[in-house]
């Protein structure tokens, strides 16, 4: 059994919707909802949502690269977002709901940039891909109520994912895969 793990950090709008797709992948050990990319230390949900901290809602994934590749995680990420929307994601508007790939090393940076270019050239999106590829910064764990929200509050989560437009967007662009 491999003891080697790496981190991957993705901002895809509301972090509630970003946990489930990754947890299904063999080799993913943990997924933490939190905040990153900004200038405020230990921000709260309310502070991040005020768009005054520079942080975005994100997930940080600890994974075994011998079981799941970073490229596979990138593929899962792209299928959860509208990478052409610079103003947020679906019904969630504002800086805190922006998308980003936060790389932890040079290899991740290269893979993320290549993946973004491929998505621009071959993906199903008509507009320009605006999701930035940025160096990872300090990641702050979100409040416990936001961790595994899709399991703790599955009814509300499913209504939110459908009502926000995310579920329909994914189905339109990627099918039910």
The whole-angstrom separation of Cα 63 and Cα 28 is 4
**173 and 124 in contact (C-beta within 8 Å)?**
yes
93 with 50: CB under 8 angstroms? no
Active-site amino acid positions: 14
Residue 115 CA to residue 13 CA, distance in Å, equals: 19
């Amino acid at each position: 059994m491999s003891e080697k793990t790496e981190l991957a950090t993705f901002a895809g709008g509301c972090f509630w919707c970003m946990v489930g797709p990754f947890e299904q992948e063999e080799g993913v050990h943990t997924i933490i909802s939190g905040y990153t990319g900004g200038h405020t230390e230990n921000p709260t949900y309310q502070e991040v949502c005020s768009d005054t901290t520079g942080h975005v809602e994100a997930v940080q994934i600890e994974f075994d690269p011998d079981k799941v590749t970073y490229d596979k995680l990138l593929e899962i990420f792209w299928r959860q977002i509208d990478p052409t929307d610079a103003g947020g994601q679906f019904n969630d508007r504002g800086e805190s709901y922006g998308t980003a790939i936060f790389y932890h090393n040079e290899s991740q940076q290269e893979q993320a940039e290549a993946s973004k270019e491929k998505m621009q050239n071959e993906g199903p999106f008509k507009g320009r891909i605006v999701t930035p590829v940025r160096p990872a910064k300090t990641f702050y764990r979100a409040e416990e109520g936001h961790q595994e929200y899709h399991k703790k509050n599955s009814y509300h989560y499913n209504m939110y994912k459908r009502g926000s437009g995310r579920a329909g967007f994914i189905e339109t662009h990627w099918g039910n895969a």
